[in-house]
Structure 1
Amino acid sequence: MPPPKVFYRGSNANLLHTLRISGGGSLQVEQIPESLSFQDLARMSDVGMLVLQHEPPSSDSFASLRNWQRENPDVPVLVLT
């Protein structure tokens, strides 16, 4: 079974590259569009971790993130500001 994916939502290419190499090849990091809503993300079954680059103003609020976390309490979320 493949490991769960780390989804990165942001625009920092260096951070994305660092996330990808930090897993030593055993961590699958995928960049998702900033336009992807938390409802769309909830439909994905292979979410292992979220890394979100928060740059106000955002189309999704922290309230949406909290709602998503209530439904997915086992998925760690890292928000970078």
Structure 2
Amino acid sequence: MILNIFFILLAIPSGFLIAWLARDELVSGKKYFRILIIVSILGAIGGIFYDLTYLSLTFVFYLIISLISLIKSEDQKWTKRKL
């Protein structure tokens, strides 16, 4: 259980790192982040219903990373480009 929580919390710095490394792609990838968020929510719920813990944890990891990327794509200081 502790390892699962650590895995989920590791998504936060990973999301910021990926968003920082791909700053120029954040604005053009907004629709894909939204699609990934929806798929991640559905996958996490499906993993919980079918008792596939690691599948649901993987989708929650993707969900956190894509949420951070979507939030940072709205920040003009972060992307250094006008929307």
Query: Common fold, TM-score beyond 0.5?
Result: no
Q: If each structure's helix is expressed as a fraction of its own residues, which one has the higher value?
A: 2
Larger gyration radius, structure 1 or structure 2:
2
Structure with the greater relative contact order (CA < 8 A, sep ≥ 6): 1 or 2?
2
TM tier, smaller: 0.3 to 0.5
Q: If each structure's strand is expressed as a fraction of its own residues, which one has the higher value?
A: 1
